[in-house]
Amino acid sequence: MFGKPVTLFKILGFKVQLDFSWILLALLITWSLAKGYFPAYYLGLHNETYWWMGAAGAFGLFGSILFHELAHSLVARRQGLRIGSITLFIFGGVAQMDEEPHGPKPEFLMAVAGPISSFVLSAFCYLTFEIGYRYDVPISFLGVVGYLALANSLLGGFNLLPAFPLDGGRMLRAALWRWTGDLRRATRSASRVGSLFGLILMLSGVFQVITGNFMVGVWWFVMGLFLRGAASASYYQVVARTTLSGEPIRRFMTSNPATVSADLPLDVLVEEHIYRSLHDMYPVMKNSHPVGCISSKQVAGISRDRWSRLTAGDLAVPCSVDNTVSVETDALVALSIMNRTGNSRLLVMEGDRLVGIVTLKDLLKLLALKLDLEGAA
């Protein structure tokens, strides 16, 4: 949401990333717990203790959301789906899939795993609270555990709402998919329900603000706005995938692209290529074979007085699976690579020979044309 997420670690083979917006959420949760929730339910503790409890509660919520998304990811992996990463952001978390489920059953199993995991974790926290209470465990620890029991039950319950792309909405889509046999139609219907729930949340937020609950109202309104946007975006993501799937990348590439030699000085690259053709990226060639690519952003990161001493080959990013595709690669696979790596341009290869460049703009242009001509329904 606020930029490229930061990779924290890997767990069970899944890359865990953090969007900077989650830091805002963590601070908000810590403050609300330390100044509101814990002082109201656990009286007589020191102010420092409440702040430590608030920080522990925010950290525990981080772990709870990660546990929820790991449940989705493990079931998805078992169903043969590839999960690229798990990203935590201000409204929770999302397991990034590179493809849609292969049928309604995998979709349902993957969706229901999240709420079940949250309810199981809630039950564990509640049991820990009860046992700790009987054995006189410090109340500060019990307060955090009790909060996590409540938070996980709310997390599981909220995600059961039949509002796509929440888990309940995905379960609804799985049912509609099984009934209609049409993924796009099922997604459209589930997305409309998600948009309706988003609108209800927004209106409820306005009502809360009018009646004096300003913070609650703003939070509900923003969540409703996010849900409506996510429902629409998720539908068009499915449209994009079903539209581009099966289309070879050779249909969208620019053939015989402009290239530069590996020994070309950067100042010449800028003056005679970037400024004249206005391309953002150039394949770098050595002995008629591509050795990588160089972008204007890379050059911009080098001080101007060094341009004459460095060459395109010095800065070239080597050819790899992250910036090259085969000429017969499915367009959907190319789009997935762009989404995973953040590269908006890929070199198109036929064996070890460069035959073209494909850009995200090219793929989106085709998608827009197909939607105009064939409709999104």
Q: Which residues are catalytic?
A: 69
Same domain, residue pair 136 and 267: no
Domain tally for the chain?
2
**Contacts for 172 with CB less than 8 Å, ≥ 6 apart:** 162, 164, 190, 193
Domain boundary among 160, 190, 225: 160
Q: Are 174 and 180 in contact (CB under 8 A)?
A: no
Cα–Cα distance measured from residue 325 to residue 334, given in angstroms and rounded to the nearest whole number: 7
User: Token digits for 25?
Assistant: 């959420």
CATH of the domain at 261: 3.10.580.10
Secondary structure of residue 134 in the 3-state scheme: helix
Look up the domain containing 110 and give its range. Answer: 6-160
**pLDDT tens track, the chain, 377 positions:** 445 677 778 888 888 888 777 788 788 889 989 988 899 888 888 999 999 999 999 999 989 989 998 998 899 888 888 777 777 765 566 777 766 778 889 889 999 999 999 999 999 999 999 999 888 889 999 999 999 999 999 999 989 988 888 899 899 999 999 998 888 888 889 989 999 998 999 999 899 888 888 877 887 888 888 888 888 878 877 777 777 777 788 888 888 888 889 898 988 888 888 888 878 888 998 888 888 888 888 888 888 888 888 888 888 888 888 888 888 888 878 887 887 777 888 999 888 889 888 888 877 777 777 666 655 45
For residue 358, the tally of other CB atoms under 10 A from its CB is 26
Q: What share of the chain is helix, strand, coil (3-state, %, to 5)?
A: 60, 15, 20
Secondary structure of residue 352 in the 3-state scheme: coil
Helix (H) and strand (E) counts in the chain: 14, 12
Q: What is the pLDDT of residue 370?
A: 66
Residue 360 forms part of a structural domain: yes
Nearest CA to 33 out of 134, 143, 158 is that of: 143
Same domain, residue pair 358 and 257: yes
Residue 319 forms part of a structural domain: yes
At 199, which amino acid appears?
Answer: L
Cα–Cα distance measured from residue 30 to residue 59, given in angstroms and rounded to the nearest whole number: 9
Residue 125 forms part of a structural domain: yes
Alpha-carbon distances of 145 from 23, 137, 153, 340, rounded to whole Å: 22, 11, 12, 36
Same domain, residue pair 10 and 141: yes
Residue 123 forms part of a structural domain: yes
Residue 240 forms part of a structural domain: no
Same domain, residue pair 10 and 153: yes
DSSP structural state of residue 156 = H
Same domain, residue pair 14 and 156: yes
Alpha-carbon distances of 295 from 66, 264, 300, 307, rounded to whole Å: 36, 14, 9, 14
Residue 190 forms part of a structural domain: no
Residue 228 forms part of a structural domain: no
Domain boundary among 116, 143, 160: 160
CA 288 to chain centre: 39
Secondary structure of residue 281 in the 3-state scheme: strand
Length of the chain: 377
Same domain, residue pair 145 and 264: no
Residue 44 forms part of a structural domain: yes
Same domain, residue pair 275 and 153: no
Same domain, residue pair 287 and 150: no
